[in-house]
């Protein structure tokens, strides 16, 4: 699906919970495309279990193997839909969040949600021990722990992930010119980075800087703001400085 949409796939990694595709879009693709790529993951398990059922009905596979194969793919698909990055469920949640909040907020909340559900997986793995005094679910414990620390690292790196997104956005700004305009109101003393954190992913952002009484406001298109961000690499200065 990623190749069909023209994405550049840099690697396919095998992790404890399955395969993960690494792409170079860095948030540059639309939320619609990300949804299609994410949904394509569990869909392969659905196709495989349907084929297994068909082979079983034809008598090509034994009932035992058909049942096992269907159950295995069903559980893999359901686990993959848990909203934890980088599972497909986490990517679906992140894409859906970007429709209603800024991209920085999308990164922040998808990481937070991922951490919460990772902890839930770890707790689930320990339930037999806590409730019945039996052994733990080792597979779930290992996967949940891996996902927890992975998303904890992502949470710390959000500013760098966000800035990579802005660089990608600046390199292909012409693609967003035809999108619906999203106005952003900001006082002149607000830092450039705080303004950028309000930018929407699926919109053409227009910044309205509220200045002094002599000049109540000024409009800056997305290209002008991103150009200042990339040219000087100083995102901590006041956005009003761009007007001078």
pLDDT for 210: 79
Q: Is 166 exposed, middle or buried (0-12, 13-18, 19+ CB in 10 A)?
A: buried
- In a shared domain, residues 152 and 205: no
Cβ distance 191 to 238 under 8 Å?
yes
pLDDT for 132: 82
Confidence of residue 244 (pLDDT cuts 50, 70, 90): low
* Token pair belonging to 172: 């292909």
pLDDT in tens, 163-184: 888 777 777 766 666 677 778 8
pLDDT in tens, 36-73: 888 988 898 899 989 988 988 888 888 888 889 999 88
pLDDT for 84: 94
Q: How many CB atoms lie within 10 A of CB 120?
A: 14
Based on the structure, what is the number of domains in the chain? 2
Angle, helices 31-58 vs 63-80, to 10°: value is 170
pLDDT in tens, 113-164: 999 999 999 999 999 888 887 888 888 899 999 999 999 999 999 988 888 8
Choose among 92, 121, 88, 120: nearest CA to 106: 92
Distance, C-alpha 228 to centroid of its chain: 26
- In a shared domain, residues 217 and 112: no
Give a yes or no: residue 171 inside a domain. no
Q: Last residue of some domain: 135, 165, 195?
A: 165
Give a yes or no: residue 29 inside a domain. yes
Tell me which residue range forms the domain holding 185. 178-243
| pTM assigned to the model | 0.82
The average confidence (pLDDT) of the chain is: 83
Give a yes or no: residue 119 inside a domain. yes
Provide, rounded to the nearest whole percent, the portion of the chain with pLDDT above 90. Answer: 22
- In a shared domain, residues 30 and 150: yes
Q: For residue 26, is pLDDT > 60? A: no
Give a yes or no: residue 4 inside a domain. no
pLDDT for 105: 92
Mean pLDDT of 183-198: 82
pLDDT in tens, 102-119: 889 999 999 999 999 999
- In a shared domain, residues 125 and 21: yes
- In a shared domain, residues 221 and 184: yes
pLDDT for 195: 83
- In a shared domain, residues 109 and 213: no
Cβ distance 81 to 113 under 8 Å?
no
């Amino acid at each position: 699906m990623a190749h069909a949409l023209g994405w550049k796939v840099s690697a396919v990694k095998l992790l404890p919970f399955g395969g993960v595709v690494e792409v170079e879009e860095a948030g540059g693709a639309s939320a619609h495309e990300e949804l299609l790529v994410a949904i394509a993951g569990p869909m392969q398990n659905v196709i495989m279990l349907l084929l297994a059922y068909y082979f079983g009905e034809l008598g090509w596979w034994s009932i035992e193997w058909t049942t096992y194969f269907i159950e295995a793919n069903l559980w893999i698909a359901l686990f993959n839909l848990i909203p934890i990055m980088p599972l497909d469920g986490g990517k679906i949640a992140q894409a859906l969040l970007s429709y209603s909040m800024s991209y920085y907020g999308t990164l922040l909340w998808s990481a937070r949600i991922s951490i919460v559900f990772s902890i839930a997986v770890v707790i689930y793995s320990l339930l037999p021990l806590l409730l019945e005094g039996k052994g733990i679910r080792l597979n779930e414990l290992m996967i949940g722990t891996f996902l927890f620390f992975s998303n904890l690292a992502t949470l710390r790196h959000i500013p760098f992930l966000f800035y990579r997104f802005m660089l990608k956005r600046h390199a292909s700004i012409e693609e967003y010119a035809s999108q619906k305009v999203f106005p952003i109101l900001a006082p002149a003393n607000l830092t450039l980075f705080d303004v950028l954190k309000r930018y929407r992913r699926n919109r053409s952002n227009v910044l309205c800087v509220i200045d002094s009484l002599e000049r109540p406001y000024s409009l800056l298109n997305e290209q002008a703001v991103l150009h200042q961000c990339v040219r000087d690499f100083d995102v901590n200065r006041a956005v009003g400085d761009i007007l001078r």
